[in-house]
A and B are shown apart, each in its own frame.
Chain A
């Protein structure tokens, strides 16, 4: 089912925020919508958005590689994005990340065998005073986890895992 059919209200609301002759502006919110729907952005969704906004599909796809929060591949259900930028690293983010890697048994950029977590290193998230910290990006948005320890992170992972099992 197309985005326009599945989320008619939201699509309408998104389009209403921009002048009608510049509806191309709606491409970023629509890409978020597509990502929420499929977990990542499919070629079909790119085409639908392109048609809706009357732009080329290449112009839609060109955004995905530019903006790091868009993904055109399926990976872990949760992307755990640890800030390892300078301010966080001055407060132990690198060590935190290393510990997470060994606890999860994966390297940075990899996904746990159960497909639950993809671990990524990212640049500053504007939480420098609350390091170590990470955000979890999932299909429908993201949330910050600040002043974290390895133990509390592993508890969170466990909770996410269990929540997933309940649903499926």
Chain B
């Protein structure tokens, strides 16, 4: 631990680590020094000059090196002639700081006055009004009456779009560079900069598309004035009219802590509606950040296309029904099917939902499976990351640095789990050894000390070698902490299961399993896949076969027919099918009974993140009329099977679940709601310090211990050796990849993200494209397993020549690597004439 020093701030004695900045030391002692450019997560720059304070240092006797004493025996303190910036000056022994002396106040005063000479006083119409540091500081420190002539103010663009998501008001910008520095230092996407200089300095983005970063929304939280706003929230509401409800982001396995802001709106017939998603501080998970998918991808809840009444199939057509009739029909069919009942649940559902589904299947001797194209979750339950004893909540990637090794295999974290990307990038910059092994280039490569590029099909051998050979092997074996992330980039279920196994073995053999902040993490496609694994749900080896032989099938939170994971073969008997869903998916359209489910923001529940942290989300808005929570629907169906399942309270389901399984032992909603003090301190009245991120009052979640950590004997399953498909000459191998913005149901309905999602596209190596006679930007016909789709071509010279990358969840039937053909469509006669002209 750093040496502690004692200093005096505003007469108060404070002891803090040497080298800490004055502003932070004051903050710890509840003394707020106003800041604009300083942000506790970024390097200080001292540009705004808001934090001016008087700093005195003890005078030293040059010969003895001891402090000079005054007549009273107190050290003599020498104050410099100038005010100093509290944000750039580190504390030292015996220092005396005055933050609100007349001189310091005058300094702070003048900075506010200078800022107001070019800042409009439009607080009443500003989005930041009510949560604006400048507004607050103007009240506290500003001059009463402006001495600046209004006519001489600069008039600048009020609606300058930096990209599709973020808008800049140039008049309001105070050039603190927080946004630029966030993008550069924290996000690693330096897509913002200053243009011009002096009073003409303005924020710009020249990237294509503008503000090309998946972290852009965070800049609006840390912008200390209303200069940066999201397209989403702009003019939508006044911050003080908003209610807030804690939640967990449901977009990916990171499990970022969020706050839903809601408001009762006349426009929506007096209903309470979601206004925005904000980060909620959890330094062990997402710090104070969110990615743009999490921030902007919530509009589906309000979609008019939501299912809002049960339906049953009559004379071949789905038509409205009552809950009672629908539940009865489904329950009777399931009861009849007994062991031939197949239940398919997905990681989109909460633990409570999955628990009820699984219990229902077990009670009749049926089978419950996890709908997932990625395997290995049983291994994360064995050797998942362990939590340090000191931290009651769990592992913390923020603690990884020098001495740690992080391995990322078969995953493009920037696209799949952006906040993990950000945290791993930071760990690498703190000195952690980062090893990235992937068949194609990913953004994380830039921060890696070792990049391994393997051929499709070589993934198992790659992991095995990695853990033993060369520089990577050494870093891995000798690491104090080793964390391995594995994903499904270019892999299907079988291969990803095998990769997970190889990773788990490597960790166990190196002795890393069970150590704090060491272990295995799955980069799952859905927020609660890990929860499903913890509950014992497993993907079916052959889902189609299971489906075909079942008598009744119950699908919740999944669209296997839309994804191409299941097909109805003509002439084949179709089992009875009940589906519970938010939307009228392809799967729902095939069902005999359809139940409308509630969105997670309309109810409570828990998810388990990829780091195996159990976290609670709360109801933020009243549920859509006619929809029920998934666990309640299952309970209703169960009633008609004479099975008793809790259906009224999620917390009770959780209690039953916790009692049922040793993994959850001792957990309850109350325990999940515990919080500890966090650093930096955010979300208090002085929002200029941390930004508008929410202070966490509702719980930081609790990590499950892994079997290895509990000291259980670890029996890893045998290393599978899948017969992986490999690229072959003159043939194209289609491999699935995940993109952040896809057509998953939670995004497809967001107008804001439309441009970012784009149309379905495939990616080829330029030489492969040339060989096929197609060009980037052209439309081609892609055939996978007999089905053809019209797609756009992109090229990327970092990928292998024999593959075609096919994005998941874009309406293209890709589940695992498969052979593909790509054909340029015959030019239509119309375009021919255009060319001739």
Interface residues of A (CB under 8 A from B): 43, 46, 55-62, 64-66
In Å, the complex CA distance between A43 and B207 comes to 11
Which of B192-200, B327-335, B632-640 contacts its partner? B192-200
What 6 pairs between A and B have smallest CB-CB spacing?
Answer: A62-B193, A65-B195, A65-B196, A58-B193, A58-B206, A56-B190
List 15 extra interface pairs beyond A56-B190, A58-B193, CB under 8 A: A43-B206, A46-B206, A55-B190, A56-B189, A56-B193, A56-B207, A58-B190, A58-B192, A59-B190, A60-B206, A61-B195, A61-B206, A62-B204, A65-B195, A66-B197
Q: Please report the total number of B residues contacting A with Cβ < 8 Å.
A: 15
- Which residues of A lie under 8 Å from residue B194 when comparing CB positions? 62, 65-66
Chain B 202-228: CB-based contact to A (< 8 A → 1; otherwise 0): 001111100000000000000000000
Q: Which partner residue on chain B sits nearest A46 by CB separation?
A: B206
**Is the CB–CB distance between B204 and A61 below 8 Å?**
yes
- The verdict on B504 contacting chain A, using a C-beta distance below 8 Å, is no
How long is the Cα–Cα vector from A65 to B189 in the complex, in angstroms?
Answer: 21
Asked, given contacts A46-B206, A56-B207, whether A61 binds B190 with beta carbons under 8 Å apart, the answer is: no
**Smallest beta-carbon distance B387→chain A, Å:** 38
User: A66 contacts B206, CB within 8 Å?
Assistant: no
Partner of A61, one of B193, B197, B200: B193
- Shortest CB distance B660–A (Å): 52
Which B residues are CB-close (under 8 A) to A58? Answer: 190-193, 204-207
Q: For B190, list chain A residues within 8 Å (CB).
A: 55-56, 58-59
In this complex, the member of A55, A58, A59 whose beta carbon has the largest number of chain B beta carbons within 10 angstroms is A58
Question: Would you give the 0/1 interface string for B785-813, flagging 1 where the beta carbon is closer than 8 Å to chain A?
Answer: 00000000000000000000000000000
By secondary structure, the B interface counts as loop
**B189: chain A residues within 8 A (beta carbon):** 56
With both beta carbons as reference points, the residue of chain B lying nearest to A63 in the complex is identified as B193
Give the nearest-CB partner of A62 in chain B: B193
Report which of A57, A64, A65, A66 forms a contact with B207, defined as CB distance below 8 A. Answer: A57
12 A-B residue contacts at CB 8 Å? A46-B206, A57-B207, A58-B190, A58-B191, A58-B192, A58-B207, A61-B195, A61-B204, A62-B194, A62-B204, A65-B194, A65-B197
A57 to B205, CA, bound (A): 9
Contact (Cβ within 8 A) A56 B191: yes
Asked if residues A57 and B206 are in contact (CB atoms below 8 Å), the reply is yes
Cα–Cα, bound, A43→B192 (Å)? 16
Question: CA separation between A55 and B194, bound complex, in Å?
Answer: 15
Q: Of B194, B206, B207, which is in contact with the most chain A CB atoms at under 10 Å from its CB?
A: B206
Q: Which residue of A lies closest to B189 (CB)?
A: A56
Which residue from chain A places its CB closest to the CB of B197 in the assembled complex?
A: A66
- How far is it, in angstroms, between the C-alpha of A45 and the C-alpha of B626 when the chains are bound? 58
Distance of A56 Cα from B205 Cα, bound (Å): 10
- Give the docked Cα–Cα distance between A55 and B190 (Å): 8
Residues on A with beta carbons closer than 8 Å to the beta carbon of B192: 58
**Docked pose: A58 CA to B210 CA in angstroms:** 10
Q: Shortest beta-carbon distance, B608 to chain A, in Å?
A: 37
Interfacial chain A residues near B196, Cβ < 8 Å: 65-66
CA distance A46 to B195 in the complex (A): 14
Complex Cα gap A24–B207 (Å): 18
Inter-chain contacts of B204 with A (CB < 8 A): 58, 61-62
- Determine how close the nearest CB of chain A comes to the CB of B724; give it in whole angstroms: 34
Q: Which of A43, A62, A64, A66 lies at the interface centre, i.e. has the most chain B CB atoms within 10 A of its CB?
A: A62
Contacts of A66 in B (CB 8 A): 194-197
Q: How far is the CB of B157 from chain A (nearest CB, A)?
A: 15
Q: How far is the CB of B37 from chain A (nearest CB, A)?
A: 17
Most chain B CB within 10 A, of A46, A60, A66, is at A66
Q: How far is the CB of A5 from chain B (nearest CB, A)?
A: 18
Alpha-carbon distance A65/B197, docked complex (angstroms):
7
What residues of B have a CB within 8 angstroms of the CB of A60 in the complex?
206
For A55, give the chain B residue with the smallest CB separation: B190
Which residues of B sit under 8 angstroms from A56, Cβ to Cβ?
A: 189-191, 193, 206-207
Contacts of B207 in A (CB 8 A): 56-58
Chain B hits for A61, CB < 8 A: 193, 195, 204, 206
Central interface residue in B190, B193, B197, B207, by most chain A CB within 10 Å: B193
Cβ of A62 and Cβ of B195 under 8 Å apart? yes
Residues on A with C-beta less than 8 A from B193 are 56, 58-59, 61-62
* B200: A residues at CB distance < 8 A: 65
B202 to chain A, nearest CB (A): 8
Q: How far is the CA of A116 from the CA of B192 in the complex (A)?
A: 35
Residues of B within 8 A of A43 (CB): 206
Q: How far is the CB of B50 from chain A (nearest CB, A)?
A: 24
C-alpha gap A46/B204 in the complex (Å): 14
Bound CA span A56–B638, Å: 58
- Which residues of A sit under 8 angstroms from B206, Cβ to Cβ? 43, 46, 56-58, 60-61
Complex Cα–Cα for A64 and B205 (A): 13
Most chain B Cβ neighbours within 10 Å, of A60, A61, A65: A65
Cα distance A152–B190 when bound, in Å?
49
B190 nearest CB neighbor, chain A only: A56
Q: State A60–B193 Cα separation when bound (angstroms).
A: 9
Q: Which residue of B lies closest to A43 (CB)?
A: B206
Which residues of B sit under 8 angstroms from A64, Cβ to Cβ?
Answer: 195
Complex CA–CA separation, A66 to B197 (angstroms) = 5
B446 shortest CB reach to chain A, Å: 9
CB distance from A36 to the nearest CB of B (A): 21
Q: How far is the CA of A59 from the CA of B194 in the complex (A)?
A: 8
Give A57 to B191 CA distance when docked, in angstroms. 8
Task: Give chain B residues whose Cβ lies under 8 Å from the Cβ of A65.
Answer: 194-197, 200
CB distance from B352 to the nearest CB of A (A): 45
